[in-house]
Chain A
Amino acid sequence: MSEFAVRNRIREFRQLRAEMTQADLARACDVTRQTIIALEAEKYSPSLELAFKLAHALERRLEEVFRFEEKN
């Protein structure tokens, strides 16, 4: 059976917003900066609520920020 993983482009979209630091994004989403670090490193998959908050803070659509793909 194939294994799937949640991939994200949080770091990429955050860096596109020049002023936005990990701490800013953490504050906007009510999480710790360390959770943003874990998310960007794809060591943690967020809840649906947090995923929506992240997409909203990055001003992107959910499916642009997250995708569900087969593990290599």
Chain B
Amino acid sequence: MTRIQRRVQVLLALAALGAAGMFLGGEVGLGIDFGPVGATVLYAALGVFVFHLARYAGQVFPEEWAPAEKQAWVALVFVALVSFNMINLLAALPDLGAAADELRNSATRPLWTNLGILMVGWIVIAGILRKQDAGGVERDERDLRIAHQAARIADGVMMLFIICLVVALVALPEQSRTWLRPLIAANVLIALLIARTLVENIYTVLRYRRERG
């Protein structure tokens, strides 16, 4: 492992700590709210990562990783962060009562900000990687086969999630369904789509890892 890759690992560990603070946060003691502190650490670590990616082309990821594998890892990290945001939102919505039916409420406002930052970060990193790998083959038959298998597995898992959701909704007694408001149901469906993408990316990176032996 190169010096740059070790540095990137430290950055990713910092980003994971920041993400944990951001999503689990709240006031723990000393009057510090770990939510905003975690968010600052996460976004600062991502910023430094982007700098490393741009500055040390080809040294950030291991040489034996295919371009599609690098993209899958980046997608996995960002989709995981989006998933945490979605879980936070779904956990907060039932307590909002009627306000949960408004598109902009106290739970969705930070979500849109975070999603905006994450999407910009994802586009920038994916763009830098695409530029660095330009000139060679970006995706060959092995990459397409892995992508196809990952999509099939993810579709199967999503179908399972939908069946579980339907069974849970049918089985829940009427008085336990008071939290189920239209926008919450819409967010649950979006969460299912995000979960599908997460499963797809997890399968993809595991498959590449297995084929490298």
- Given A43-B212, A43-B213, the answer on whether A37 and B64 have CB atoms closer than 8 Å is yes
Contact A44 B211 (CB under 8 A): yes
Chain B residue numbers with a CB within 8 Å of A34 are: 64-66, 69, 142, 212
Complex interface: chain B residues within 8 A of A49 (CB): 141
Q: Restricting to A35-53, which residues have a CB under 8 Å from any CB of B?
A: 35, 37-38, 41, 43-44, 46-47, 49-50
Report whether over half of chain B's contact residues are helix, strand or loop; otherwise say mixed.
Answer: helix
On chain A, the number of residues with a Cβ less than 8 Å from chain B's Cβ atoms is 17
Separation in Å of the A38 CB from the closest CB of chain B?
Answer: 5
Q: Are A32 and B212 in contact (CB under 8 A)?
A: no
State whether A32 touches B64 (Cβ < 8 A): no
On chain B, the number of residues with a Cβ less than 8 Å from chain A's Cβ atoms is: 16
How far apart are A25's CB and chain B's nearest CB, in angstroms? 12
Complex-state Cα separation, A6 to B65, whole angstroms: 23
Q: Is A59 an interface residue, CB under 8 A from the partner?
A: no
A selection of 10 A-B contacts at a CB cut-off of 8 Å is A26-B137, A30-B137, A30-B140, A32-B66, A32-B140, A32-B142, A34-B212, A35-B140, A37-B212, A47-B141
Q: A30-B137, A50-B141 are in contact. Are A35 and B66 (CB under 8 A)?
A: yes
